[in-house]
Amino acid sequence: MREEKLLENAEEALVAEVVRRVAEKLISVQKKALVVYTGSLIGFVPALVSLQQLQQAGFTFDLFLSKSASKLLNVDTLRTVLAPGVFYQEEQLDRAPELLAAPYYTVIVPALTVNTAAKIAACIADTPAARIISNSMMRGKNVVIARDGCCPENAERAAKGYNMTPALKAKLSANLETLRDFGAALCGCDTLAFKTIKLIEPQSPTAPRARAADFSSSKRVIGRREVVSLPAGSLLRVSKNALVTQLAYDAAYQRGVRIEKEV
């Protein structure tokens, strides 16, 4: 019996170590992010500070700049401060935007224009930046967007002389809510690092996996966002025709969340 107990303990320790390493690998993969800049200067400095904080937390970046971002932003500053592995600019793009974004599990948008936000909210993807962001959300990836550049209530925008009607403000705010409903994690430029880390590292992989509660979702696509919002050890029931992304399954494994499809 003693030998059997020792063998059982050894097996448990081995399984725990494998789970820990798999969880670390999943987090590590998601810390290689594509940073997408569109042509907005609002919040540029605090967003840059947030990206530096993410680097200190172990993130590495490749950068994509839209045509307007290349003209408005200080490209040399971005190269120097962020030291991206690869630096893509729209006018030099040699592949489809979706192919460019394919290797990344995390897409960070520190500057989103009103125009691009409106297009994505309307399911229009006629620019490389819009295609990257839209396609990443469709695939259930981590998409973190700093809303400052497209938020009608932003103080910096008001200081520049913008004086919108309530109806226009409501429409622009509705676009942001649509992006949130599509699966994007929205935040301010100054909380970009906190939001991203919280999304990728919701809790320690060794946290208890006791069943917490049952939840259900009628969404047609279940992404990572739906899983990480649940308590560890939960049961998530989804419709039989729901598409569950691989990132959702990875997050469920990490958090001990069980996903069941209705029969």
- The tens digit of pLDDT for each residue in 84-127 reads 999 999 999 999 999 999 999 999 999 999 999 999 999 999 99
What pLDDT sits at residue 54?
93
Looking at residues 18-35, what average pLDDT do you find? 68
List all residues 6 or more positions away from 251 whose beta carbon is below 8 Å from its beta carbon: 202, 224, 227, 228, 257
pLDDT at residue 210, as a whole number: 44
Distances in Å between the alpha carbon of 111 and those of 46, 79, 150, 161, 206?
11, 16, 8, 20, 35
C-beta atoms surrounding 134 within 10 Å: 23
Average pLDDT of the residues of the chain: 85
Report the pLDDT value the prediction gives residue 229, as an integer from 0 to 100: 86
Burial 38-66 (b: 16+ CB within 10 A, else e): bbbebbbebbbebbebbbeeebebbbbbb
Predicted model pTM: 0.70
**The predicted structure's pLDDT at residue 2:** 63
Provide the pLDDT for residue 211.
Answer: 46
Contact (CB, 8 A) for 258 and 238 = no
Query: Residue 172's Cα: distance from chain center in Å?
Result: 21
- Given a cut of 90, whether residue 72 has pLDDT beyond it is yes
